Structure 1
Amino acid sequence: MELGKVLAALADPHRRKVVTDFLAGPDDAERTCTSFNLPVSKSTLTHHFRILREAGLVLDADYGNRRGITLRRADLDERFPGLMALLENEARHFAE
């Protein structure tokens, strides 16, 4: 994981929402791409998840007819201490 790629991925509000949605749930949650209800086309959704995956923020699991996505929270907390807490605080601040 490179800091520049992680920050570039998180610069987009849709991708940041994916990460903060993960942070709001259990640490080991696995979700599908469509479960985030992003207001974008399927091809744009695929693009956003590719950027997240290439930056090292998420892992994909291919089950044939669907893909499961998980946040690499433990890896991110180890590599970039405080970054996930910062995103959680930002999400709480804007929710108020």
Structure 2
Amino acid sequence: MTTTTTPSRTLDHPTRDQIRLEHVLHALSDPMRLRIVRSLAEADEELSCSAFALPVSKSTTTHHFRVLRESGVVGQTYRGTAKMSGLRRSDLDALFPGLLDHVLRAVDRQTARLGEG
């Protein structure tokens, strides 16, 4: 487990070697978390948690980000008072080649098929 540290703020992240497929798949199994991952993939940069307009409470949003971080799907760091999140694409692609791209394409196809926004 690696730790990102700023004065009084630490966030635990699994190292690349600690990321497990079953944890990644669990993290990607929730529609809200898929929405977050999709937004991060489209942005191709770190975004603050406040950049996500999710139709859930702040505590539920925090939970979703924690699941994504602890599974190794996203990395989070504090920049001032903002918690920044970024997709750990290079780690996921190294461990599970093509998985993230396939999941994101499947989400796009499902969204189009079901007419969701």
TM-score if structure 2 supplies the norm length?
Answer: 0.74
Q: What amino acid is aligned across from residue 11 of structure 1 in structure 2?
A: S
Q: Aligned pair 1:57/2:109, yes or no?
A: no
Q: Comparing both structures, which one devotes a greater share of its residues to strand?
A: 2
Report the RMSD for the aligned CA atoms in angstroms: 1.2
Q: Comparing both structures, which one devotes a greater share of its residues to helix?
A: 1
Identity percentage over the alignment?
Answer: 43
SS at match of 1:24: helix
Name the larger-Rg structure. 2
Q: Aligned pair 1:5/2:28, yes or no?
A: no
- Segments of 5+ residues of structure 2 without an aligned counterpart are 1-18, 113-117
Q: CA deviation at 1:20?
A: 1.4
- Segments of 5+ residues of structure 1 without an aligned counterpart are none
Q: Distance in 2 between matches of 1:12 and 1:89?
A: 16
Q: What amino acid is aligned across from residue 10 of structure 1 in structure 2?
A: L
Q: Give aligned pairs, total.
A: 94
User: Does 1 or 2 have the higher relative contact order (CA < 8 Å, sep 6+)?
Assistant: 1
TM-score if structure 1 supplies the norm length?
Answer: 0.89
